[in-house]
Structure 1
Amino acid sequence: MSTNERTRRPEIAGPEPAPGPDPGLRAERVGRRADGRLIVDGVTLSLRPGETVGLLGPNGSGKSTLLRLLSGVLAASTGVVTLEGRPLPQVGRRATARRVAAVEQHAHTQTELTVREVVALGRIPHRRAWSPAPGADGPAVTDALERTGLTGRAAQSWHTLSGGERQRAQIARALAQEPRELLLDEPTNHLDIQHQLDLLDLVVSLPVTTVIALHDLNLAAMYCDRLLVLRDGRTVAEGTPADVLTPSLIQDVYGVRTEVTHAPGHPVIRYLRHRTAAPPTGQ
């Protein structure tokens, strides 16, 4: 989904932004250093309202770190992440959380919570400190459960859900925040094919701007409007799936040979086996 037609009231407290279009969430030459090395190095990303941006790259390329920088969980060592034209530290953690929701790769809790209680955690940024859950949270939680197909599971223990259902519950929690931007870190990991497709169908149907880290290049081609490819923390390529997913780029970034054809609307990647040595001849 490339256009977000649903309008929302601004959620961020503080000075009014300058007149003109909402600049949304933006990373400007951001870097993050850890253990003496750059995990993310000078990455720039601007998000357009309603689009789905895929983050691609091998393990260790900086995808997860970039998502944490965008959400404000990590602070940039260099560069700046802005929301509505203001650096995230000026916006503040609570106000950022009202606008930007993140779903990590793995979610665990030792507390016995129902699915509805897990989803209701998404309302915390909208509550006053130390205040109980207000009744006004109910419609947002109910709507999030309906959107993710979990209404019938609302009273069930979160621990009894399947992997795919837990992922949907975490997305429902994020939706209960009523965000404009949704950040997802490899949400299809450990899901079977049907649940991968179901989850991504859900994600692209949502009235939000989405950044999603993926490993599967064909899923990225099918569901993303734009791709950002990282390697060693740096941007290698950015553009539409048709522009980015070429055999030469895949070989360069992932070290594998491919054939790329173009189905209606998106490229299709076929992986080629590594060349093997000829079998030994008889003596």
Structure 2
Amino acid sequence: MNDSLPPATSDAAPGLRADRVSRRADGRLIVDGITLTLLPGETLGLLGPNGSGKSTLLRLLAGILAPSAGVVTLDGRALPRVGRRATARRIATVEQHAHTQTELTVREVVALGRIPHRRAWSSSTAADTRAVDAALERTALTDRAGQSWHTLSGGERQRAQIARALAQEPYELLLDEPTNHLDIQHQLDLLDLVVGLPIATVIALHDLNLAAMYCDRLLVLREGHVVAEGTPSQVLTPSLIKQVYDVQADVTHDPGHPVIRFLRRTPKP
């Protein structure tokens, strides 16, 4: 891990926090007054239908977007005061779709995560090499390091993007629907990897059962508002699913997490 920020003072809120954050675009509120605190080491799941504000909230937490109102803080300091480079050393993001037209090897893609730690035009250091090697090993991509990123499968590309994020040596990791377009095996493999990391993670998901299996806590959004927050067992109820997604569901409880079974709509006569 890095020491890019000074330790939080006794009166500062440690970690990543959003306080009544809103974001307006094209004349409407995309995110409206959301407050959240990311606890050390937890996996926080963001749920909600398309257009509910999940991706925008992640970009606000990363400092990619500026809030129209409210503030995002890191160890009690507003992100603009922290600075973009220091923020990038602490917070890593994995977007929904990663593309590059440049012919890069897997190692070169992962090494992009070291950019926040280097001065412009400077050569990589021994610390950079160690961080990249560790990220490749953690994501089981060491044997793919010299391979073109374009030749990887979808699951391997997602792992490479997570390796790039890990090479940043972050304290917080933000992922936007990383399981999209992956088969079931690769979805489970990727989420096993993510929740096994010793860092705090916010992950936007569509699959409620995956969220129930892997997340410690859930934040459910609808039209930019928080409609529920709590553990999967507290949040994923038939009434909440009906309210947010407008579908009927049965919810049972396996040891440790709820299991959701969606019900077919009754055909109209």
Amino acid at match of 1:43: I
C-alpha distance in 1 between matches for 2:125 and 2:2 = 20
C-alpha distance in 2 between matches for 1:62 and 1:27 = 14
In structure 1, the partner of 2:233 is 242
In structure 2, the partner of 1:166 is 157
1:11, distance to aligned residue in structure 2 (A): 1.9
Match of 2:145 among 146, 154, 167: 154
In structure 1, the partner of 2:67 is 76
Name stretches of at least 5 consecutive residues in structure 1 with no aligned partner: 1-7, 279-283
In structure 1, the partner of 2:261 is 270
Correspondence 1:202 to 2:202: no
C-alpha distance in 2 between matches for 1:49 and 1:101 = 15
Match of 1:66 among 57, 70, 73: 57
1:243, distance to aligned residue in structure 2 (A): 0.2
C-alpha distance in 2 between matches for 1:211 and 1:161 = 25
1:177, distance to aligned residue in structure 2 (A): 0.2
TM-score (norm 1): 0.93
Amino acid at match of 1:245: L
**SS state of the match for residue 93, structure 2?**
strand
In structure 1, the partner of 2:21 is 30
Amino acid at match of 2:76: G
Q: Is the 2:8–2:14 Cα contact (8 Å) retained in structure 1?
A: no
In structure 2, the partner of 1:89 is 80
**SS state of the match for residue 18, structure 1?**
coil
C-alpha distance in 2 between matches for 1:9 and 1:77 = 30
C-alpha distance in 2 between matches for 1:154 and 1:20 = 44
Q: Is the 2:2–2:169 Cα contact (8 Å) retained in structure 1?
A: no
C-alpha distance after superposition, 1:141-182 (max 9, x if no partner): 000000001000000000000000000000000000000100
Matches within 5 A, 1:84-233: 84-233=75-224
C-alpha distance in 2 between matches for 1:218 and 1:45 = 22
Amino acid at match of 2:113: G
C-alpha distance in 2 between matches for 1:10 and 1:154 = 27
**SS state of the match for residue 126, structure 2?**
coil
Q: Is the 2:173–2:200 Cα contact (8 Å) retained in structure 1?
A: yes
Change (3 A) 1:35 1:21: closer
CA RMSD after TM alignment: 1.2
C-alpha distance in 1 between matches for 2:10 and 2:4 = 16
Amino acid at match of 2:22: G
In structure 2, the partner of 1:11 is 4
Amino acid at match of 2:4: E
1:22, distance to aligned residue in structure 2 (A): 6.1
Name stretches of at least 5 consecutive residues in structure 2 with no aligned partner: none
C-alpha distance in 2 between matches for 1:116 and 1:109 = 14
1:136, distance to aligned residue in structure 2 (A): 2.2
C-alpha distance in 1 between matches for 2:3 and 2:12 = 13
Amino acid at match of 1:265: G
Amino acid at match of 1:140: A
C-alpha distance in 2 between matches for 1:21 and 1:149 = 37
In structure 2, the partner of 1:281 is none
1:134, distance to aligned residue in structure 2 (A): 2.2
1:227, distance to aligned residue in structure 2 (A): 0.1
**SS state of the match for residue 136, structure 1?**
helix
TM-score (norm 2): 0.98
C-alpha distance in 2 between matches for 1:25 and 1:152 = 34
C-alpha distance in 1 between matches for 2:228 and 2:95 = 24
Structure number with greater Rg is: 1
Change (3 A) 1:9 1:179: closer
1:21, distance to aligned residue in structure 2 (A): 7.9
1:9, distance to aligned residue in structure 2 (A): 5.2
